[in-house]
Amino acid sequence: MIWALIGILIGVVIGFQIEYSIPLAYTKYTAVVLIGVLDALFGAIRAEATKDQYDALIFITGLIFNILLAIIITYLGEKLGLDLYLAATVVFTFRIFSNVGITRRAMLHNFFEKKRKQKHDTDDSENPL
């Protein structure tokens, strides 16, 4: 997963260095694709933090699926004259906040478990029986 984070960070740095503006017609697509990418990224971080089985193939397929789903929803919304991209944005954003909350709780749990174990190990070494 660290490689995915490094790759995304490199992409962001390169993106800031390139002088390119997105045409106004594609801004909705860009927004939902970025939110979809963030959803996949935070899902991978949650899987790593909660000690779920992280799999790069699942990450990549989830990333591609999120991007395709976001594009399809936005396209259908434009054809129907509806702002369906907002629905995709709301759902992806909800999932991001959910994953961040789960990650935070898992990290706090791991932190307190380490502290408890260190205290327990210290107490055992000071009072040998």
Our count of domains for the chain comes to 1
Average pLDDT, the chain: 86
The alpha-helical segments, DSSP class H, found in the chain are 2-17, 27-49, 56-80, 84-126
pLDDT digits (tens, 9 = 90+) for 66-125: 889 889 999 999 999 988 889 889 999 999 999 999 999 999 998 898 888 888 777 666
- Residue 16, pLDDT > 80, answer yes
| Residue in 29, 17, 108 with CA at minimum distance from that of residue 76 | 29
Buried b (16+ CB within 10 A) or exposed e, 50-60: beeebeeeebe
The better pLDDT of the pair 58, 74 is held by 74
Region class of 111: left (phi > 0), else alpha (psi between -120 and 50), else beta: alpha
Supply the angle between the helices 84-126 and 27-49 in degrees, to the nearest 10: 20
Q: What is the pLDDT of residue 1?
A: 63
Calpha distance 97→99 (Å, rounded): 5
Percent of the chain with pLDDT over 90: 26
Confidence at residue 40, expressed as pLDDT on a 0 to 100 scale: 87
Could you tell me if residue 129 is inside a domain? Answer: no
Whether 127 has a pLDDT exceeding 80, the answer reads no
Is 1 inside a domain boundary?
no
Range of the domain at 86: 37-115
Residue 65, in any domain of the structure = yes
Task: Please report the pLDDT score of residue 68 as a whole number.
Answer: 92
Domain assignment of residue 92, yes or no = yes
- For the segment 7-18, the average pLDDT, to the nearest whole number, is 88
